[in-house]
Every structure is written in structure tokens, then in C-alpha cells.
Structure 1
Amino acid sequence: MRLLLTGTSGWLGRFLAPRLRAGGHMVIGLDVAPGAETRIIGSVADRAVVERAFAEHAVEAVIHAGALHKPDIVRYPTQAFIDVNVTGTLNLLRAAAEAGHDRFVFTSTTSVMITDAIRAETGDAAAWLDESTGPLAPRNIYGVTKLAAEGLCRIYARDHGLACIVLRTARFFPEEDDTVRDLTGENMKANEFLNRRLTVEDAAEAHVMALGRAPAIGSGTYVISAPTPFSPSDARALRADAAAVVARYFPDAPELYTARGWRLPARIGRVYDGRLAERDLGFRARTDFACVLEAMRSGAPLPFAHDPSYGSAPWPSDRAIKTR
């Protein structure tokens, strides 16, 4: 299949493009920045760029992974998020429908489920987040525009018969968190495999599975995260003393963490539940918290990427698409 993959110079695209080729697909990469996997330099916000890509490369399906992201809020105006995340998605959906495509995969984010109250962790129990979570009230322009793009996907599935799969991916970025500084980057990432992270390799695999299952499903939205060891019955205890809950599931975790000078989470305010993706897409992340502990026991490299110096390629000032 000839696939148009947006965001190929970003973190996900670098892993997803080779995985798609290994599956027998021809990948036409589109990104605002040059990269090893990018054939077309341009913005999805530019309808002419999208139409030219379809016309010149006989595109048969789309995986739309390019976007402006949360860290870009301090660098780019609100209008840029609307142009890229909303109008750019519409341009791709329109072209796919006109070409008679039978599948479209959209990379969304778990951020669309995070309200101000969930972010502040004001409740007495961890929030259990899955596809039924709502009402949705994203707390910033990134989440707002991604949720709007999800809505466009649903409209095109309903009105044009274009099978659209929306993947709300958990965290998989390699750089430091831009809001939390009280833990080392590797320690924080390891902790997040309990409730809100996956590897970039697993994120790529989820897209491959979604591409294959889209025609049979028709339209669907899925949380994509490493499987959590917890159950909803743990929600109150996770909010009160998460370290004790972790030790109950993994008795040697405190000792392994102490040996490395790390800290287990004192509280966990949210848990992502990806079981629907396992049922419908056949996707289950290979790397989970148990894998992290096994690497610590054996002395093997940690099974996730951590790169404090990572940064997306700089943008040309007159273009409006960002990739991760």
C-alpha cells in the first residue's frame, strides 16, 4: 500500500516509517522539516501541498502523525494550532475521501481527556481514564485542537464512509518533562509505565495494527498506553500511597529503586486503561513496568528512550507544522 505518513521527521515518524516499510508498504513522508524519512517538505495546513502529494504519489491511505504539540504553546500563536491541527487534518481527510480511500489513522493524544481538575489531582482517588471518559474539556489549545480534529475524523467516517481510527497515545517522548523537575528523567519515565507511558516502538506498532484493522472497524477511538498493573479498585489507594500499592504488586520494586537512587511515586492521580485497543486492534504494548524492573534486576539497558537533549528540527518561519 502507498501510504502518506505525516510527521516523518519527528520522533514517532522515525520509528513508524521503517516499521511500515518492513510490513510491505511504500511510505511517502511529509513534514515541514527535512529528515531521513521525509520525501515531501511542506505543511498539511497548505491544501495545495496535500493535493499535490496525492496527485503525484498515488496515495492509497493516510497515517496523520504530524502536529503542533503542547511544548509549542509557548512558541507559536493559537492560530498556528488551528491551522495545523484542525485545518491540516481536514485537508487530509478531504483528500482521502475524494480519492476513495478505505482507511485513515489519526494520532491524537490522551491530553484531550485531561481537564483542569484531573491535572490538579484534586480528588481522593486516581482518575481511571478510558474511551468512555467525559465530558471532555481539554485544558489548553493543544488538547482543544486535537479534540476538534478527532471530531472531523468521526464526521468523515459517518458522512463519507472513510474508516477513521483515532489513537489517543500516552507519553512516549524521549526528552525531559517540561513541567516536573523533582525527579530525574529516567526515574520519572520508569514510574510513568505504571499508568501513562509507552515506548515509541509500541506507539509505532499500534499505528500499524490500526491501519490493518480500520476497514473492519469503520470508526473508533482508542487509548494507547502500556498495560497498567492496577485495577479500578486501587484508585483510592493510588491517590493516598501509590508506593505501597506498587510494592504490593512488585515486592522487590522498593529495593531496586533504592539501589538506583530513585523514588517510587508517592501518589498517582490518573491511570490510562488501554484494554479496548487490545480487544479491537489486537494491540498490547510489549514494554510495561514489569519490563523496566526486569532490566533493573539484570543490569540490562532500560527498555525506553531517554534523551534530555532531544528536540524537534527547527521550523522554517513561514511554515506551520510541527512533529514529535
Structure 2
Amino acid sequence: MRVLLTGSSGWLGRHLAPMLTASGHNVTGIDVAPGAHTQEIGTIADRSFVDRVVSDHGIEAIIHGGALHKPDIARFPRKAFIDVNVTGTLNLLEAAVAAGHSRFVFTSTTSLMISKAIRAEASDAAVWLDEHHTPLAPRNIYGVTKLAAENLCREVHQQTGLACLVLRTSRFFPEDDDTLTDPPPENLKANEFLNRRMTVEDAARAHIAALEKAPELGFGVYLVSAPTPFQREDCAALKEDAASVVARYFPDAPELYARHDWTLPSSIGRVYDASAFERDLGFRFQTDFSAILDALRSGGELPFAHDAGYPSPSVEGADLIWRD
């Protein structure tokens, strides 16, 4: 299948493109910055650019992974987020319909599920988050535009029949958290596999599974994150004393963490449940918190990437995204 992959120079794109190729697909990558898997440089906010790429490369399906992300809030105005994340998504959807495509996969974000109240962790218990969580009240322009783009996918599917799967992905970025500094970055990432992170490799594999299943499912919004070991009934205890709950599921975790001068989370305010994605798509994540502990036991390499200096393509391609 001839697949158009947006965001091909980004962290997800550079892992997803070779996996798609290995699966037998012919991949055309587009991004605002050059990269090893990017054939076309341009912005998806430009409808004529999108139409030309789809036509010139005989595109048959689209995986839309490109976007402005949360760290870009400090770099670009709100209008740039609307142009790229909303108008850009509409341009791709309409190009797919015009070309007679049978499937469209959209990379969304769990961030749009996090209201100010959830972010503040003001509740007495951890918030259990799955696809049925409401109301959705995104706390920033990133979440607002991603939710709008999800609704465009739904509306286009309803009006045209284009199969669209929306993947609300949790964290898989390699760089340091832009707000949290304690515990240190690798310790923080390891902890997040308990409730809100996955590897970029699993994120890429999830997109390929969605590409294959989209025509069968028609439309769906799925939370995609490493499977949590917790149950809903753990939520109160997770907020009060998360380390004890972790030790109940993984008795040697405290010792393994202490051996590496790491700390378990003292409190967890939200938990992502990706069981619907696993069930409906027959998908299994390759890395979870158990894999982190296995690496700590064996002294092997941690099964996730960390790169404090990772350069976002939005920085190099800033002139294509926005000009004052």
C-alpha cells in the first residue's frame, strides 16, 4: 500500500516509517524539516501542497502523525496550532476522500483528556482514564486543537464513510519533561510506565495495527499506552501511597529501585487504561513496567529511549509553520 506519513522527521515518524516499509508498504514522508524518511518538505496547512503530494505519489492511505505539540506552545501562537493541527488535518481528510482512500489513522493525544483539575491532581483518588472519560476540557491550545481534529475525523467518517481510527497516545517522547525535574528524567520515565507512558516502538506498532484494522472498525477513538498493572479499585490507594501499591504488585520493586538510587512515585493522580485498544485490535504492547524491572534486575539496557537534547523538527521548520 502507498502510505503518506506526516511528521516523518519527528520522533514517531523516524521509527514508524521503517516499520511500515518492513511491513511491505511504500512510504512517502512529509514534514516541515528534512529527515531520513522525508521525501516532501512542506506544511500540511497548505492544501495545494497536500493535494500535489497525494496525487504525485499515488497515495492510498494516510497516517497523520505530524502536529504542533505541547512544547511548541512556547514557540508558536495559537493561530499556528489551528493552522497545522486543525486546518492541516482537514486538508488531509479531504484529500483522502477525494482520492478514494479506504483508511485514515490520526495520532491524537491523551493530553486533551487532562483538564486543569486533573492536572492539579486535586481529587482524593487517582482518575481512571479511558475512552469513555467525560467531560473533555483541554487545558491548552494543543489539546483544544487535537480535540477539534478528532471531531473532524468523526464528521468526515460519518459523511463519507472514510474509515478513521484516532489514537490518543500517551507519552513516548525522548526528551526531558518540560515541567517536572524530580525524580531525574530516566527515573521519571520508568515510573510513567505504571500509568501514562509507552515506548516509541510500541506507538509505531500501534499505528500499523490501526492502519490494518481501520476498514473493519470504521471509526474509533482509542487510548494507546503501555498496559497499567493497576485496577480501578486501586485509585484511592494510588493517590495516598502509590509506592505501597506498586510494591504489592511488584514485591522486589522497592529494592531494585533503591539499588539504582531511584524512587517510586509517592502519589499517582491519573491512570491510562488502553485495554480497549488491545481488545479491539488484537494488539499486545511489548514493553510495560515489568520490562523496566527486568532490565534493572539483569543490569541490561533500559527498554526506552532518553535523549535530553532531542531536536524537534518544528524548530528547524519554524519558517514553514509560522511567519510574523
Calculate the TM-score normalised by the size of structure 2.
0.98
Is the contact between residue 277 and residue 284 of structure 1 (CA under 8 Å) also seen in structure 2? no
Cα distance in 2 for partners of 1:316, 1:212 equals 31
Q: CA RMSD in A?
A: 0.8
Which residue is 1:17 aligned to?
Answer: 17
Structure 1 stretches of 4+ with a deviation exceeding 2 A read: 313-318
- Structure 1 residue 317, shift from structure 2 partner: 4.1
- More deviation in 308-317 or 80-89? 308-317
Cα distance change, pair 25–195 in 1 and its aligned pair in 2 (3 A): same
Which residue is 2:6 aligned to?
Answer: 6
Which residue is 2:230 aligned to?
Answer: 230
- Structure 1 residue 129, shift from structure 2 partner: 0.1
1:49 matched to 2:65: no
Is the contact between residue 226 and residue 284 of structure 1 (CA under 8 Å) also seen in structure 2? no
Cα distance in 2 for partners of 1:67, 1:231 equals 33
Which residue is 1:80 aligned to?
Answer: 80
Residues 48-197 of structure 1 aligned to structure 2 (within 5 Å): 48-197=48-197
1:111-144 deviation digits (Å, cap 9, x = unpaired): 1110111000000100000000011000000000
Cα distance in 2 for partners of 1:318, 1:236 equals 47
1:223-251 deviation digits (Å, cap 9, x = unpaired): 00000000000000000000000000000
Which residue is 1:315 aligned to?
Answer: 316
For the residue of structure 2 that corresponds to 1:284, the secondary structure is coil
Which residue is 2:26 aligned to?
Answer: 26
Which residue is 1:296 aligned to?
Answer: 296
Q: Which runs of 5+ in 1 are unaligned?
A: none
- More deviation in 79-88 or 302-311? 302-311
- Structure 1 residue 252, shift from structure 2 partner: 0.4
Cα distance in 1 for partners of 2:29, 2:54 equals 12
1:35-69 deviation digits (Å, cap 9, x = unpaired): 00000000000111101001111100000000000
For the residue of structure 2 that corresponds to 1:105, the secondary structure is strand
Counterpart AA for 2:138: P
Counterpart AA for 1:213: K
Identity across the alignment (%)? 66
Higher RCO (CA < 8 A, seq sep 6+): 1
Cα distance in 2 for partners of 1:11, 1:88 equals 19
Q: Which runs of 5+ in 2 are unaligned?
A: none
- Structure 1 residue 285, shift from structure 2 partner: 1.3
Counterpart AA for 1:150: E
- Structure 1 residue 283, shift from structure 2 partner: 1.7
Which residue is 1:239 aligned to?
Answer: 239
- Structure 1 residue 316, shift from structure 2 partner: 3.8
1:160-211 deviation digits (Å, cap 9, x = unpaired): 1000000000000001000001111000000000000000000000000000
Cα distance in 2 for partners of 1:316, 1:240 equals 44
Cα distance in 1 for partners of 2:48, 2:316 equals 19
Calculate the TM-score normalised by the size of structure 1.
0.98
- More deviation in 209-218 or 311-320? 311-320
For the residue of structure 1 that corresponds to 2:321, the secondary structure is coil
Cα distance in 2 for partners of 1:307, 1:317 equals 21
- Structure 1 residue 312, shift from structure 2 partner: 1.3
For the residue of structure 1 that corresponds to 2:319, the secondary structure is coil
For the residue of structure 2 that corresponds to 1:319, the secondary structure is helix
Cα distance change, pair 49–266 in 1 and its aligned pair in 2 (3 A): same
- Structure 1 residue 281, shift from structure 2 partner: 1.3
